[in-house]
Structure 1
Amino acid sequence: MEALTQNEEQLMQVFWKLEKALVRDVLNEIPEPKPPYTTLASNIKQLEKKGYLKHNTYGNIHEYYPVVTQEAYRKKSFNNLIKNYFDGSVQNVLSFMVKEKGISEKEMKELKKLIDEHDNPEKS
């Protein structure tokens, strides 16, 4: 799965939300300032070339749909983030979150519960 630019990620968010869309449907979902229609169509074709979208053709109209799920993309992106910025360590991620993001006591208890359930699946 090839990496996406920030702009491409924004477009994929629209496709994951709409599930199927014409270029004009995507244009309607994008916040201002909106790109020109032709630029947007080129960006969508690039997403198709990268393997994130496919399309159905009705006459000269293309209806695009995602072939990579949001969950699959999220998982790959998160794994890359851990690998590239936290030396592949989940402990480093959690340490960062505690120090930088101020995880609440409630969130820490929920995380501990998830870890305990993962370690002892028969107790959940």
Structure 2
Amino acid sequence: MKISQLTHSEEVLMQIMWKLKSAPLKEILAAYPEPKPHQNTVSTFVKILTEKKFLSVIKEGRIFRYEVAVPRTSYRLFLLQNLLAGYFENSGDELINTLTEKGLWDSEESSNLPQEKEVKEENAVGDFINEITGKKKQDKKEKKKKKKKNK
């Protein structure tokens, strides 16, 4: 499944849909914060998100129900991978260093956790960083090996 970048307005609608999971247009409109956009505007965004395959359509009689086709976690991972690639040279370590330096992540906070939970979270963070950067690092290593062989 290929995920594409959403505009701000599309992302607002998807935030609503991730909460609702499945809803007809009327319920989507009701869930919008004030000031609510016009029904035609929301309908257009729903159509665009359906074409981008973020939403799927189910016909129930004369009413169309829209369901989330791209989970929030998948889109969040897509955004994080783009952030790493575009601003941190695919380095999870560089991202964490920046977050720590700017006070957005307190590494001491995680040291106050119980031992067992700390190990699990360390592994989860490490696994996550490896998941999003591992393939690209491996590709770089393979390219370097090919260059050395060609010389």
State whether structure 2 residue 115 is matched by structure 1 residue 115: no
Residue 20 (structure 2) aligns with: 18
Aligned residue type for 1:74:
R
SS class of match (1:84): helix
For 1:41, the equivalent position in structure 2 comes to: 43
Q: AA paired with 2:92?
A: V
Corresponding residue for 2:75?
Answer: 73
Secondary structure of 2:66's aligned partner: strand
Gaps of 5+ in 2: 128-151
- Under a length normalisation based on structure 1, what TM-score does the superposition of the two structures give? 0.84
Deviation at 1:93, TM superposition (A): 0.5
**Cα distance in structure 1, aligned partners of 2:27 and 2:61:** 17
Deviations 1:61-118 (A, max 9, x none): 21000111111111111111111111111011001110113433113666x7433675
* Structure 1: runs of 5+ lacking an equivalent: 120-124
Q: Distance in 2 between matches of 1:36 and 1:107?
A: 45
- Matched residue, 1:122: none
Runs of 4+ in 1 over 6 A off after TM superposition: none
With normalisation by structure 2, the TM-score equals 0.70
Aligned residues: 119
* Percent sequence identity over aligned pairs: 30
> Aligned residue for 2:101?
99
Q: Note the aligned Cα RMSD (angstroms).
A: 2.3
Task: Give secondary structure in 2 for the equivalent of 1:68.
Answer: coil
1:95/1:108 CA distance change after superposition, 3 Å: farther
Mapped to 2, the partners of 1:80 and 1:64 lie a distance apart of: 27
